[in-house]
Amino acid sequence: MSNRSDSARVESTKSFSEPSLSMENADGHHHESTPSQLSPSQACQYCDPEGEQHSCHESAGESGYCFWHDENASKDGPDVKEKLEAFAKDGGQLRGIIVKRADLRDVNLVKHGPGGGYDLSYANFYRSNMTSAHLFNAKFDHGSLMKADLHDANVHCASFINCNLLGVKLTDTKIDNIKVGHTLQQEAEGKIAERAKDMEKALDLYEQSEEIYRDLRKASEAHGIFTMAGYFLQKELTMRRCQMPYFSTQRAMSKTVDLFCGYGESPIRVIFFSLVLILISAILYFVTGIQYAGDPVGYSSELGMGGNAQAFAECLYYSVVTFTTLGYGDYIPVGMSRLVAATEAFTGSFTIALFVVVFVKKMTR
């Protein structure tokens, strides 16, 4: 499967073995230079996608990057967790760090005080063990947590917008109020591939998106966050629909259910559909005509604006009565309006039953 976040954009790292550099003055004496005093050639070459304001000022190694931004620097040491915590507390540049396959169990990356949590945008934690990690309000936007283990971690209020969450383990993970954005990274790339007619790549990305939404839904349900679970269910089924062949009956049915009720998660869609159906039927009755006590009711050029407005109001009343299958009998359809009335009555009874099911489902959660 594809993983754009695992491929390095521009990455760099921080060295803990040399916290300062020894430099020689013109008089032959030595003085210590802090990272902020380093020349451009000595500082980490990490280039953030969002501009130089997020540059890294740590000393660079032979690769040109500091320890944390160097993709080739090993992060599997036993003390990497303590080093990362210290780096964060010292104000190090956490954006774009590469911490693949690291043992970060119980790591504490909670930033106290105002200003939000730590910014770990564009960071790569591929296959890292982050069991029981404390990541409250952290920001992982545009990064990668692919196949990372977040079992029993706290990511409450964390941001994962456009983050690669494929294969992430979320068992017992506290995910209250997380932000994943309107589209996943794979979902957005799938739409681009679909527009480019690369359907093989698009289907693969949509399948990945479906898997991610399923994992998020299950984690939400496990913690009783049913509103969030409902949203992820809609997205999961939408991604499944995107994998179906165009113009197929299966895809058409899936789209219809989505439009009517949001896959059973949106009662407001049922109400909106009902109102639209009533209004359209009223217009058709107004054009085709109905009868009241033997007198025709509908559009007539002889009635004028006021008379036609009253006739339309009566057609609207008849449409509501027909939709709800009350059938008072005061107005009756004639001609083509009979077909409209039969269709509206059948659809109305079905829609009312659908609304009851969807509404009860939402209210009992």
3-state secondary structure 7-46: CCCCCCCCCCCCCCEEEECCCCCEEEECHHHCCCCCECCC
Six-digit token pair at 331? 């107005």
Instruction: For the domain covering 267-363, report its CATH number.
Output: 1.10.287.70
pLDDT, position 136: 96
Give the pLDDT band (50/70/90) at residue 327: confident
* pLDDT value for 39: 54
For the cut 60, the answer to whether the pLDDT of residue 22 exceeds it is no
Every domain of the chain and the residues it spans: 267-363
Strand, helix or coil for residue 237 = helix
Q: Is the pLDDT of residue 29 over 70?
A: no
> Please, which pLDDT band fits residue 21 given cuts at 50, 70 and 90?
very low
What per-residue confidence (pLDDT) applies to 360? 85
The band of 365, judged by pLDDT with boundaries at 50, 70 and 90, is low
Q: Supply the Cα-derived Rg of the chain in whole angstroms.
A: 30
Q: Is the pLDDT of residue 38 over 80?
A: no
**Would you say residue 12 has pLDDT above 80?**
no
- Which segments of 36-184 does DSSP mark as H helices, in order? 80-89
Number of neighbours of residue 20 by Cβ within 10 angstroms: 13
- List the single range of 82-86, 168-172, 202-206, 289-293 with lowest mean pLDDT: 289-293
Question: pLDDT band for position 41 (50/70/90)?
Answer: low
User: What number of residues does the chain have?
Assistant: 365
Say which residue the tokens 């499967």 belong to: 1
pLDDT class of 40 with cuts at 50, 70, 90 = low
What would the two tokens of residue 146 be?
């692919």
Give the mean model confidence (pLDDT) for residues 289-303: 89
SS3 category, 129: strand
Q: Is the predicted pLDDT of residue 3 greater than 70, yes or no?
A: no
d(CA 216, CA 229) in angstroms, rounded, equals 7
Tokens coding 240: 């499944």
Range 108-134 average pLDDT: 94
Across residues 291-309, what is the average pLDDT?
A: 89
Tokens of 93: 């540049």
**Mean pLDDT of the 50-76 span:** 92
The partner residues of 43 in beta bridges, in order of sequence, read: 59
Q: What value does the mean pLDDT of the chain take? A: 88
- Specify the pLDDT at position 351: 93
Contact 177, 157 (CB under 8 A): yes
- Confidence tier at 17 by pLDDT (50, 70, 90): very low
pTM of the model: 0.78
Please check whether residue 249 is in contact with residue 233, taking contact to mean a CB–CB distance below 8 angstroms: no
Give me the pLDDT at residue 158, please.
96
Over residues 113-127, the mean pLDDT reads 92
State the average pLDDT over residues 324-329: 85
Please write the tens of the pLDDT for every residue from 332-362.
999 999 999 999 999 999 999 999 988 887 7
Q: What is the mean pLDDT of residues 219-228?
A: 92
- Helix residue ranges per DSSP H, the chain: 80-89, 185-195, 199-222, 226-242, 249-261, 267-288, 304-323, 337-363
What is the reported pLDDT for 27? 40
**Where is pLDDT greater, at 4 or 68?**
68
| Greater model confidence, 170 or 36 | 170
Whether the pLDDT of residue 11 is over 50: the answer is no
Among 219, 240, 134, 118, residue whose Cα is nearest residue 168 = 219
Q: How far is CA 185 from the centre of its chain?
A: 9
C-alpha span between 334 and 353 (Å, rounded):
28
Cβ distance 290 to 318 under 8 Å? yes
Average pLDDT over residues 268-280: 95
Mean pLDDT of 264-289: 94
User: Which residues fall within 8 angstroms of residue 219, CB to CB, at 6 or more apart?
Assistant: 170, 171, 173, 175
